[in-house]
C-alpha cells in the first residue's frame, strides 16, 4: 500500500496538519467538569453572601439583634444595661446563672451607674432596714454626751440595737448634717449643724450602707459644707442619695444588687417649702439637694428607676415638725409616688413618729421620727422590710426609745404602748404585738 507524503514529499505517519490543529483546540471532558463545578460554586457563594447580608438586615430590623448580642456577650436580663456594649474579651463572656451576674463582673459599669453589690444573708430574701434622723455635731447634746462617755457608739445606741442594724442586708438612715470644718453657718437660721469629718466612721458602727442627704440641714454651712460632705462620703465609700454637685447628681438613684434582686433608692426633700429656701436646690450647674416641693421631676425619676430595677425605695424628707398627722402635701404625694412606681415609701423630718398607710400594695411609713438626734425622750423605731423577687414578704415596725442621749429597743409595757399608739395613728392597717404590719 502506498502512503501519501503531501507536497513536500516528507514521510508523515500522522493525520494532516489541519486536522491536528482542530483536535488541539478541543477541551477534555475532565477539564470541562472542573470548570463547570467552579462556576456553580462561585455562583452559589455569591448567592449565599447576598442572602446573609439581607438576613442580617432583617434580624436587625426586627429587633431580635438585641437578644442575640446580649446572649453572646453575657449581659442578660437587665433593662438598665446597654446591650450594645462590646466586651473587651476576645472570647464570649462566661454566662452567669444569675440575672445580674454579668453586671456584677463589670466593675467599671457598676461604678459609673451607682450600682453596689450587697450579699444577702437569707436565701431568696433581702432584708432592708431604715431609721430616722441622726446627728454627729459635738456642739449638741447627743454627740457631746457620747464623747464624754468615751466615744464608743455603744454608749449612744445600745449594743443589741446596733447588732440588729448591722444584721440588715441594706441599712439606711437620714444624715441630717454636713461633714465639714469649713464654711459659714446659714444666717438667721435657728439651728445649724455640722460634724467633724472623722465622725463619718460611726456609720460603720451603725451598720449603715446608704445615707440620705436630702434634708434641710445638709446646706447649713453653705455650698462648701455640702461639697465637703459629698467628698467625705465618697472617700469613705458610703453611697448617698438626694444631693449632688448638680441636679443630675442630686436626682440620681443608687442601686443595690442583692440576692439577684436589683433595688433602686431615690431620695428628695420638700423642706423648706419656699421659693428661695435656705437649703438650696440643685440646678444644672450648681450644687444642692433634690427638691420635690414641685414633685414632677421626682415622679419621673421614680418611673425611670422602676424601669431599671425590681424594687424601688423612695426615702423622702417631708411633713410638719412635731405633728403626728401627715399634712396635705404628704397625703397628696404618697399615692402619686406609688403610682409612679415606688414599692416602698419611707418618710422623715417631723422628729416624731407618724402612721403607716398602704396604697395598693405599697406601704408608706410617713415618719420614722428621730433615731439618735437630741436629748429629748421620744418614741422611735427601726423598720425592717423583707423582700423577695415577688415583692414585699413582710414589714415590721420595731419600737425603740431615744432617752438621755441614748437609743435602745422598747420592751415590755413600753413596746406594747408604742405599738398601740402606732395602730391608733395608722390608716387601715393592723400592727401585731411583734410589730408586723398588715393592711386591712
Range with lowest mean pLDDT among 47-56, 238-247, 391-400, 411-420: 47-56
34 confidence band (pLDDT: 50, 70, 90): low
Q: Is the pLDDT of residue 24 over 50?
A: no
Per the prediction, the chain carries an average pLDDT of 85
The predicted structure's pLDDT at residue 274: 82
Q: Is the pLDDT of residue 348 over 60?
A: yes
The predicted structure's pLDDT at residue 41: 55
| Arithmetic mean of pLDDT, 309-334 | 98
d(CA 244, CA 54): 48
pLDDT above 90 coverage of the chain, percent: 77
276 confidence band (pLDDT: 50, 70, 90): confident
The predicted structure's pLDDT at residue 37: 57
Q: Is the pLDDT of residue 47 over 60?
A: no
Q: Is the pLDDT of residue 72 over 70?
A: no
| Arithmetic mean of pLDDT, 84-105 | 62
Q: Is the pLDDT of residue 86 over 70?
A: no
418 confidence band (pLDDT: 50, 70, 90): very high
Amino acid at each position: 500500500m502506498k502512503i501519501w507524503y503531501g507536497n513536500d514529499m516528507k514521510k508523515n505517519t500522522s493525520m494532516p496538519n489541519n486536522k491536528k490543529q482542530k483536535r488541539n483546540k478541543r477541551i477534555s471532558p475532565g477539564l470541562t467538569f472542573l470548570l463547570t463545578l467552579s462556576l456553580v460554586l462561585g455562583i452559589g457563594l455569591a448567592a449565599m453572601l447576598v442572602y446573609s447580608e439581607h438576613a442580617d438586615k432583617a434580624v436587625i430590623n426586627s429587633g431580635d439583634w438585641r437578644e442575640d448580642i446580649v446572649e453572646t456577650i453575657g449581659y442578660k436580663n437587665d433593662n438598665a444595661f446597654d446591650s450594645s456594649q462590646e466586651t473587651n474579651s476576645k472570647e464570649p463572656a462566661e454566662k452567669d446563672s444569675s440575672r445580674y451576674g454579668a453586671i456584677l463582673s463589670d466593675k467599671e459599669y457598676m461604678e459609673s451607674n451607682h450600682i453596689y453589690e450587697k450579699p444577702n444573708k437569707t436565701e431568696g430574701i433581702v432584708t432592708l432596714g431604715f431609721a430616722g434622723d441622726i446627728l454627729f455635731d459635738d456642739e449638741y447634746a447627743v454627740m457631746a454626751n457620747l464623747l464624754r462617755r468615751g466615744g464608743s457608739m455603744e454608749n449612744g445606741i445600745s449594743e443589741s440595737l446596733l447588732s440588729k442594724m448591722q444584721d440588715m442586708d441594706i441599712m439606711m438612715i437620714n444624715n441630717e448634717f454636713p461633714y465639714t470644718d469649713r464654711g459659714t453657718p446659714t444666717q438667721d437660721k435657728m439651728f445649724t449643724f455640722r460634724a467633724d469629718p472623722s465622725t463619718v466612721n460611726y456609720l460603720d458602727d451603725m451598720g449603715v450602707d446608704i445615707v440620705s442627704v436630702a434634708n434641710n440641714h445638709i446646706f447649713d454651712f453653705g455650698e462648701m459644707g455640702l461639697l465637703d460632705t459629698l467628698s467625705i462620703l465618697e472617700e469613705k465609700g458610703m453611697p448617698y442619695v438626694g444631693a449632688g454637685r448638680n441636679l443630675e447628681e442630686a436626682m440620681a438613684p443608687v442601686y443595690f444588687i442583692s440576692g439577684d434582686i436589683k433595688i433602686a433608692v431615690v431620695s428628695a426633700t420638700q423642706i423648706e417649702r419656699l421659693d428661695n429656701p435656705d437649703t438650696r436646690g440643685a440646678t444644672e450647674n450648681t450644687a444642692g439637694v433634690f427638691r420635690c416641693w414641685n414633685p414632677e421631676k421626682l415622679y419621673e425619676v421614680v418611673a425611670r428607676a422602676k424601669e431599671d430595677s425590681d424594687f424601688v425605695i423612695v426615702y423622702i424628707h417631708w411633713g410638719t415638725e412635731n405633728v403626728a398627722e401627715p399634712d396635705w402635701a404628704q397625703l397628696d404625694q404618697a399615692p402619686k409616688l406609688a403610682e409612679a412606681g415606688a414599692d416602698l415609701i419611707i418618710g422623715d423630718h417631723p422628729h416624731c413618729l407618724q402612721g403607716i398607710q398602704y396604697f395598693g400594695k405599697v406601704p408608706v411609713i410617713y415618719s420614722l421620727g428621730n433615731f439618735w438626734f437630741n436629748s429629748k425622750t421620744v418614741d422611735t423605731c427601726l423598720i425592717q422590710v423583707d423582700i423577695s423577687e415577688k415583692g414585699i414578704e413582710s414589714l415590721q415596725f420595731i419600737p425603740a426609745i431615744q432617752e438621755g442621749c441614748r437609743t435602745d429597743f422598747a420592751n415590755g409595757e413600753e413596746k406594747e404602748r408604742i405599738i398601740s399608739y402606732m395602730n391608733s395613728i395608722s390608716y387601715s392597717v393592723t400592727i401585731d404585738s411583734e410589730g408586723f404590719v398588715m393592711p386591712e
